[in-house]
Structure 1
Amino acid sequence: MHLVQTMAYVNETPWHGLGNQLAPNQPLEVWAQQAGMNWKIEESEVRFVAGSTGLGSIHAFPEQKVLYRSDTKAPLSVVSSRYQVVQPAEILEFYRDLTEVGGFELETAGVLKDGKKLWALARTGQSVSLKGRDKVNGYLLLATACDGTLATTAQFTSVRVVCNNTLAIALGDSTGAVKVPHRSQFDAQAVKRQLGIAISSWDGFMARMKALSDRKVTVESAEAYFRRVLTYQTGSASNALDKPSATTNDSAIRAVHDLYSGRGKGAALASASGTAWGLLNSVTEYVDHQRRARSEDHRRDAAWFGHGAALKQKAWDEALKLVV
């Protein structure tokens, strides 16, 4: 079962092998058609029938509204009447000036979960080659959901070419992402102004990647790193003197250790072999491509927006501690 209902892409075939391939530099109107984003989110007040039979009286519930697709009339969610909708067209339109004059190039866009989640991903044109051969490209992801699971999020992210691993670009001040809750109106230009601060964050991110690729690690420190990243707090303390219990995911540690030791894509490159950059990428490859999930799409959803994204952030934070 694929979460991806429709999507379009240029260049490489995406992670699940599905989608409509486009020639480069297509207009946004073509993207909307081929990515399945050429519809609107409509809304209607909630109504219910009072009484056990179908002959009961119909009443309205003004505090909430139903969101549905304009094309199929399929319901999407029931939300607060104050909920601010972000339309599929707004996700693509966000990139118009970036692609026409800013040097960005759309690479994928599409619809998840029957339209409940929408996204587009564009290459920024920024890239770095670590020790000559290990190339990492910069991207800007814009995603929203109309079922309450995700604020409209603009996030700078990186993709390591050799293995297609993704990593959110977030520095200490978190300017790599802008999140607009659905109780607020989505203002694309305001978001881009905020991201303008973050475009320079690529330079800081690049410096950190280079530092990680230069930092050699011992077998012992690699093992300790994996244990720090893959140990979870699993319970709450019953009183102030108790500590929450911790669980270590031993199978995940074995998997990332195998990736780090040579099985991972790009693990043998000089930038990754025996380095903190190699440690980080063994975790990102595990999360993006190997972690157990109901489907490839569920894994990608988690890797971008859910627990997998949080795990990669933890791996990044722990890796940086090695180079401070």
Structure 2
Amino acid sequence: MSIRFDGKVAVITGAGAGLGRQHALAFAARGAKVVVNDFGGGSGSSAAAQAVSKEIREAGGTAIANGADVADYEQVQAMVAQAMREFGRVDILVNNAGILRDKSFSKMDMAEFRMVLDVHLMGSAHCSKAVWDIMREQNYGRIVMTTSAAGLYGNFGQANYGAAKLGLVGLMNVMHQEGYKKNIRVNTIAPVATTQMTAELLPEAVHAALQPERVTPAVLFLCSEDAPARTIVSAAGGSFAVAAMMETAPVHFASDALTPEAIAERFASIADWSSARSYESASQEIQQFITQVTGAA
């Protein structure tokens, strides 16, 4: 099986360097027409996007550059309008743009918290919203969010980043339910890679093994015709895993035993991970409780 993107149009945000650049180059090499978006590291310059776009064209591919700030919905709408003027459709969106403003929660001010959410979470929502109706009308779309282990599991000094990154998983879950019947598959990548953002966070010895291009194949797969849906793929250095939200089986307490002390006494059973499962939707999880509660009544 060969995964190709001939005739497809891909919008890649934060594509001026690092992971986004590798994604853009790889999509173009496999036939996609690429919108290379980059805000220029906060400078508002699209020089980086222009450079990657030129690199793609010189290699025989098709690309245009765009300097929209994903945190600004009007700019994002203009970017998608540019894509539609140039190419007539948008098939793929990779929400990759991001920033870091690391600081312990006690020292972090709310402006720093909001800034990171605006780029990661709101930026991904802006871009997804701008292409959503296009994809629905086409009856085809592939969207990839970019989460992080900091959101899935926590990382000291990254309350803003972790909150934004886990928020993207929630966004994926709902967009999956609303888009799947229109052949829009929404997935999430959780990458670990040596980039401008992570250069100071990773030991120098592991930099060579964690090159961004060793994550990109998973992004291509998640945007393919036969992509899964509502899937989180963790990726680092050519190794890949699937992450999922899990929940233990509920333990019921009769009304006459419903006390915090009783919960404490049986908490080992409540937290028994051997009973854990993943749910396809909120209603499925809620139904599990309703079935147990009404059956015990």
TM bucket (normalised to shorter chain) is under 0.3
TM-score by length of 2: 0.28
Higher strand proportion? 1
TM-score by length of 1: 0.26
Where relative contact order (Cα < 8 A, 6+ residues apart) is larger, the structure is 2
Higher helix proportion? 2
